[in-house]
């Protein structure tokens, strides 16, 4: 008890210089307090930097696609001939096609590429990417190990044809506009979950002012869109889970 009384007296003795006496309560040592707030702020800023900048940077591993596929070039009718279709979806489904039974082929296999790029000896264009395709994959007849941006967990069932054919939803509504891309974006894989950043969304906070369907691909986003479209019955569990 004695010691405590002594220590509480000390501030009033030492702090005559700067603040006027009686301005702060006696138990508050203003110099120590400023120091403490400073430490707190330094810690807070450090924590924020770690949490918002360093952690997301470390969390996602950056991987480049095996070949830098140029969507813009292929969809340009002046440069590439033969990709037919008037609407954008028809052009998309020239390569990202539906099978006859209604299932979606997703990322095309090598056979789709070799429909045009058939002879490794004579490339159609002059780009280094095409040479790469010819020598590494077409000549050796190996599948290209594409990294799929929108790969969902195994327990999820998604019917593309229900959304494209029946719901009349354009591809870029959910996938973003790939048609003008000259370069494929980096594939960012979450090191903990193994899923692409496109599932969680680019923002680590998960908070958006005006969320577009292409921002995130989580279950809540599916359900939100179903509700907005008046398709609430499709929020039943066994519609999207398998």
Partner 1 sequence: MKKENDHGKPGHKYGMVINLDKCTGCGTCMVACAAENNVSVRPDQSDKERVITWMRLYRITNGKEFPDTEVSYFPRPCMHCDHHPPCVSVCVATATKLDFHTGIVSQIYTRCIGCRYCQAACPYGARYFNWWDAYFPKGKGLDRYLSPEVSPRMRGVVEKCTFCHHRLMRAKSQAYAEDRREIEEDQYQTACTEACPAGAITFGDLNNPEHQVSKLTKHPFTFRLLERIGTEPKVYYQSSRDWVRKLGDNFLPGEYQPVVNKTWMKEEWSTKPGRDTF
Residues at the contact surface with partner 1, assessed by CB under 8 A: 98, 100-103, 153-155, 157, 159, 161-162, 165-166, 233, 236-238, 241-242
Report in angstroms how near the CB of residue 116 gets to partner 1 at its nearest: 25
Long-range contacts made by residues 128-133, C-beta under 8 angstroms, separation at least 24? 129/67, 129/68, 129/69, 129/70, 132/67, 133/67
Element (H, E) at 187: strand 187-190
Report in angstroms how near the CB of residue 114 gets to partner 1 at its nearest: 25
Closer Cβ to partner 1, 24 or 94, answer by number: 94
DSSP label at residue 186: P
Closer Cβ to partner 1, 16 or 154, answer by number: 154
Closer Cβ to partner 1, 134 or 222, answer by number: 222
Q: Which two tokens stand for residue 232?
A: 């609430």
**From CA 227, how far away is CA 63, in angstroms rounded?**
35
Closer Cβ to partner 1, 22 or 194, answer by number: 194
Report in angstroms how near the CB of residue 160 gets to partner 1 at its nearest: 9
CB 21 within 8 A of CB 12: yes
Report in angstroms how near the CB of residue 161 gets to partner 1 at its nearest: 4
Report in angstroms how near the CB of residue 232 gets to partner 1 at its nearest: 8
**From CA 25, how far away is CA 228, in angstroms rounded?**
57
Closer Cβ to partner 1, 73 or 239, answer by number: 239
Rg value, the chain, Cα: 29
State the residue for tokens 């296999």. 109
Report in angstroms how near the CB of residue 100 gets to partner 1 at its nearest: 7
Closer Cβ to partner 1, 136 or 218, answer by number: 218
* Distance set, CA 185 to CA 128, 182, 216 (Å): 18, 9, 16
């Amino acid at each position: 008890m004695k010691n405590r009384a002594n220590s509480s007296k000390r501030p009033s003795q030492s702090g005559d210089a700067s603040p006027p006496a009686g301005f702060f309560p006696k138990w508050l040592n203003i110099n120590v307090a400023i120091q403490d707030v400073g430490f707190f702020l330094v810690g807070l800023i450090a924590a924020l930097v770690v949490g918002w900048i360093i952690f997301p940077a470390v969390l996602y591993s950056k991987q480049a696609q095996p070949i830098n596929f140029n969507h813009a070039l292929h969809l340009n009718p002046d440069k590439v001939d033969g990709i037919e279709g008037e609407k954008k979806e028809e052009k998309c489904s020239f390569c990202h096609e539906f099978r006859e039974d209604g299932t979606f082929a997703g990322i095309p296999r090598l056979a789709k590429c070799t429909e045009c790029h058939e002879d490794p000896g004579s490339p159609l264009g002059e780009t280094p990417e095409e040479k790469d395709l010819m020598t590494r994959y077409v000549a050796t007849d190996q599948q290209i190990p594409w990294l799929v941006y929108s790969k969902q967990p195994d327990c999820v069932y998604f019917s593309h044809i229900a959304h494209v054919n029946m719901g009349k939803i354009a591809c870029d509504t959910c996938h973003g506009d790939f048609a003008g891309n000259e370069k494929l974006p980096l594939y960012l894989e979450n090191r903990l979950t193994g899923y692409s950043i496109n599932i969680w969304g680019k923002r680590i906070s998960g908070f958006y002012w005006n969320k577009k369907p292409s921002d995130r691909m989580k279950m809540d986003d599916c359900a939100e869109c179903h509700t907005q479209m008046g398709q609430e019955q499709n929020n039943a569990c066994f519609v999207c889970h398998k």
